[in-house]
Chain A
Amino acid sequence: MKKIGILSVLAIAFIGSFSFDSSNNEEVGKKMPSVMLEDLDGNQINSADITNDGNPIVISFWATWCKPCRLELNTVAEEFDDLVEETGVKLIAVSIDDERNKSKVRPVVDASGWEYDIWLDTNSDLKRAMGVNYPPQTFLIDGTGNIVYSHVGFVPGDEEKLYEEIRKHSK
C-alpha cells in the first residue's frame, strides 16, 4: 500500500506539473468534456456537442447566490449585442445551483434580461469534469472546439481581457 501511495503521489505530481506547463493560455487540443445536462426547458444536452458555426463560445460557470458571477454576466450583458454582431460569439451560462436554488435560475435570468444559453449543472458534473474549483470561472472555446482561455473569479475590468480573447479567436 505504501508503495502504491508513493507511486500515486509521483504520478499526480507528474501529471500536475505537466499540465501546469501546458495549461495557462495554451490549452490547444483541449476540448469540452462530454457530460449530460439540462437546459431551462428540460431538454437534455451533451456538453461535448456544442457548436457555433465556427465562432467562439464562452462557457461561464455561475450560481444565483454568487455575486461576482452575476456581476460578470451583467457586465457582459451590457455589451453583448455589439459583441455578438462583431464576433458571432455565443455565451453559455452554466448554473451550478443545486436543488435549493435551481427554480430561481429562470427568474434571475429573465429579470436580468440575459440573452445567454442557460445550462443547469445541478449536481456539479460539468463543473467537476472541467476542473472548476469555485465560481465564477469562465472558459473560451475557439471555432474548432479547443479551450483556448480560462479565467477564475471576476472583478470589474476583467471583461476587457475576455473581450480581447474573444476578438482574437473570432473569424
Chain B
Amino acid sequence: MKKTLFGLLSLVSFSSTAQIGQGGTVTGNMETNVQYLNTDTLIGAFAPEQKLVANSYMNVNYSVNKFRAGVRFESYLPSIAGYPQFYSGSGLGYRYAQYAGDKITVTAGNFYEQFGSGLIFRSYEERALGLDNAMNGASIKFNPRQGIELKGVIGRQRYRFDSGNVFYSDAIVRGVDGSINLNDVIPGFEASDLKISIGGSLVSKYQSANNDTIIIPKNVGSYGGRIDMSYKRFYLNAEYIHKDNDPTALNEYIYNPGHGAMVNLGYSQKGLGIILAAKSIDNMVFRSDRDVLGNQLMINYLPATTNNHTYNLAGTLYPYATNPFGEVAYQLDVFYKIPKKTKLGGKYGTDIHLNVAVATDHVRHTSGVNPEATYVTYVGRPFDMTDSILNFDFNFHISRKIGSKIKASVHYFHFIFNNDVNNVTKFAHGYIVSDIAVLDVQYKINKKHSIRAELQGLFTKTDRGNWATALIEYTISPKWFFAVMDQYNYGNPDESMQLHYLLGSFGYIHDNSRFMFSYGKQREGIFCIGGVCRPVPATNGLTFTFTQSF
C-alpha cells in the first residue's frame, strides 16, 4: 500500500518534469482557507486555542496517452470553523491510477461514481461541506459499442480523515450498472424523434455483524431501473429503486424494506420551460456502516426537491433536505421569457421563473403488520402522501435588463418549514412561516467598473423574528472585487440580540488564481451546496482564501 503510494507519487513527480517531451499533461487545483478567529460571546463565536486555523487541498492529475494518475493532498491544521471534527492532520486523502482505453476504463485506488440519478449509489465530494464518500477499490467501465455502457465498482467508502490518515467504511460496497441507448442499438431507430434509453443497477454492501439479540443481515442488496425518454419538446425521466431490509442504528433496527422513486416530466421550447418533478422516499438510509450516525458513509444520494436558493436569507435560515426515512414531494418549475421589444417584455425581454415545491410525510400502513414477530413496523407504498407538511416553498423571480447599463431583479419567497422534523433552530417549534423579498440591482458604470446592490428582508413572527440584509459589491474587471454585507436581526424578540453582522471582503483574480480576504462577523446558520446542508457556527475574524487551478 505504502509502496504503491510512493510509486504513484514518484511517477507523477517524475513525469511532470518530463511532460513536454512525452506529451503528458498535468492538471489540478489548489485551495487554501485560513482563518484568524476572535471570540465573540454575543454571537456564540469561539476562537480555538490555536487562534489560526487552516484547510488546504491540492489535486494533481497526470495523464499521458491512455494512462492517468492523481493524488490529493489535504491538510487541516486544525480544520476551519464549522468543519467536521473528524478532519485533522495532513496527508494524502485521495490517490488513483486509471487506464482509459477505447472501450474499457479501469481505475484502481480512489474514485467517484454515480449510477443513474444516484438514488442507489453516488460517491462524490462536496469539499465546502466536508462531505467525501470516495470509494477505495476498483472500478471498470465497458462500452462494447456506441450506446451501451456497463459499469462495475467495488470498494470501501471514505469515512474520516484523522491525523493525516484516511479511514474507510467497515462495509464493502459492490455494484453493477448498465445503460442502453435504444436509438443507438435498434437499427432504423437512430433518426426517430422519440429518444429512449434505459438502465438498471444492483448495489449491495457486506458488513460483518455480531448482535446477540437480533439477526442482522450482513449482505444488503438494492436494485432498480430507470428510463429516459424525449419526444420533440417533451421529456421524461424516471427511476425506481428498491432496498432490502437493512436494520441500522439510524432507523432503529427495523426490518422494513425501502424504496426511492423519482419522476421528472418536462416541456421545453425557446422562451418557455415547464417541469413537474415527483419523488417518493421510504426508509432509504443506505450506508456503508449500520452503526454510524451523522451524514457520513451514505451509499446513495437523495436530492432535495426544491429550488437551490442562493440569496443569503432564503438559502441559509430554513433549508430543506430530503427526509431519508420517508416523504413524498412534488415540485413545479415554470421558466418564461417575455419576448423582447414587446410592451411587457421591454427592449431586452424579461425573464420569469416560478417554483413551487411541497414535501409531506408518507403513510405508514400498520394494519396486518406484526412488528414483534417480524420487526417490520409498517408498510409503505410509493407516492402515498399524508397532509402533514414537511416543507412548502413558493418562490417567484423576475429579472430584466433596463437600458444597456442596468440589470435588475426582484424575488419573492414564501416558506413553511417544519422545524420539528428538520430541526434548524432552537428558538421555535412546529411550523415556521416566513416571507422573503429581495431586490438586486446591477449598474455597469463603464466597460470595467460595475456596482451591484442587494436588499433582502425576511419576515416571520416566530423564531428570531425579522432580518434585513444589505450588500454592496464593486467590481473592476478582470482583477478586483470589493464587497460589504450587513445582516441585521432587527426583529429579534430579545432586544440584546438585535445584532448587526458586518462582513467586508475584497479579492484579486489573476486568470485562474483567486485571492480573497474577508473580515467581520458571520452569522450562525446552515450552509448548503447541491442540496446537502451542514450547520456552520458563528465566526468572527479574518478569513483568507486562495484558489488556483492549473
A92-151 at interface with B (beta carbon < 8 Å): 98-101, 103-104, 106-108, 110-113, 122-125, 128-134, 137, 149-151
The answer on a CB contact under 8 Å between B6 and A12 is no
Cβ contacts under 8 Å, B112 to chain A: 123-125, 128
B118 is an interface residue with CB less than 8 A from chain A: yes
The answer on a CB contact under 8 Å between A111 and B273 is yes
B274 is an interface residue with CB less than 8 A from chain A: yes
Interface size class on chain A is 35 or more
The answer on a CB contact under 8 Å between B26 and A44 is no
B347-399 at interface with A (beta carbon < 8 Å): 351, 353
B5 is an interface residue with CB less than 8 A from chain A: yes
B114 is an interface residue with CB less than 8 A from chain A: yes
Q: How far is it, in angstroms, between the C-alpha of A122 and the C-alpha of B531 when the chains are bound?
A: 13
Q: Among A18, A29, A64, A110, which residue has its beta carbon within 8 angstroms of that of B308?
A: A64
Given contacts A106-B266, A110-B269, A151-B478, contact A15 B13 (CB under 8 A): yes
Write the nearest CB–CB distance from A82 to chain B, whole angstroms: 16
Write the nearest CB–CB distance from A131 to chain B, whole angstroms: 4
Closest chain B residue to A161, Cβ basis:
B478
Q: How far is it, in angstroms, between the C-alpha of A30 and the C-alpha of B25 when the chains are bound?
A: 6
B230 is an interface residue with CB less than 8 A from chain A: yes
Q: Mark A138-171, 1 if CB is under 8 A from B, else 0.
A: 0000000000011111011110110000000000
Q: Among B20, B271, B272, B333, which residue has its beta carbon within 8 angstroms of that of A104?
A: B333
Most buried by A among B91, B124, B333, B478: B478
Write the nearest CB–CB distance from B495 to chain A, whole angstroms: 35
B268 is an interface residue with CB less than 8 A from chain A: yes
Overall SS of chain A's interface: mixed
Write the nearest CB–CB distance from A57 to chain B, whole angstroms: 17
Q: How far is it, in angstroms, between the C-alpha of A158 and the C-alpha of B478 when the chains are bound?
A: 5
Q: How far is it, in angstroms, between the C-alpha of A122 and the C-alpha of B115 when the chains are bound?
A: 11
Q: How far is it, in angstroms, between the C-alpha of A108 and the C-alpha of B336 when the chains are bound?
A: 9
The answer on a CB contact under 8 Å between B547 and A133 is yes
Write the nearest CB–CB distance from B173 to chain A, whole angstroms: 16
The answer on a CB contact under 8 Å between A152 and B477 is no
Write the nearest CB–CB distance from A12 to chain B, whole angstroms: 5
The answer on a CB contact under 8 Å between A152 and B549 is yes
Q: Among B6, B235, B512, which residue has its beta carbon within 8 angstroms of that of A150?
A: B512
Write the nearest CB–CB distance from B479 to chain A, whole angstroms: 9
Given contacts A19-B550, A133-B29, A157-B449, contact A14 B228 (CB under 8 A): no
Q: Among A25, A33, A34, A110, which residue has its beta carbon within 8 angstroms of that of B511?
A: A25
The answer on a CB contact under 8 Å between A34 and B100 is yes
The answer on a CB contact under 8 Å between B91 and A5 is yes
Given contacts A67-B310, A123-B113, A133-B31, contact A155 B26 (CB under 8 A): no
Q: Mark A18-50, 1 if CB is under 8 A from B, else 0.
A: 111001110001110110100001111000000
Chain B positions within 8 Å of A, measured between CB atoms, are: 2, 5-6, 9-10, 12-13, 16-17, 19-20, 23, 25-31, 58-61, 63, 68, 71, 73, 90-92, 100, 105, 112-114, 117-118, 122, 124-125, 141, 143, 146-147, 149, 164, 181, 195, 197, 228, 230, 235, 237, 264, 266, 268-275, 277, 301, 303-305, 307-310, 333, 335-337, 351, 353, 407, 442, 444, 447-450, 475-478, 481, 509-514, 530-531, 547-550
Q: What are the 7 A-B residue pairs with the smallest beta carbon separation, nearest first?
A: A107-B273, A157-B477, A100-B303, A155-B475, A131-B549, A111-B335, A131-B29
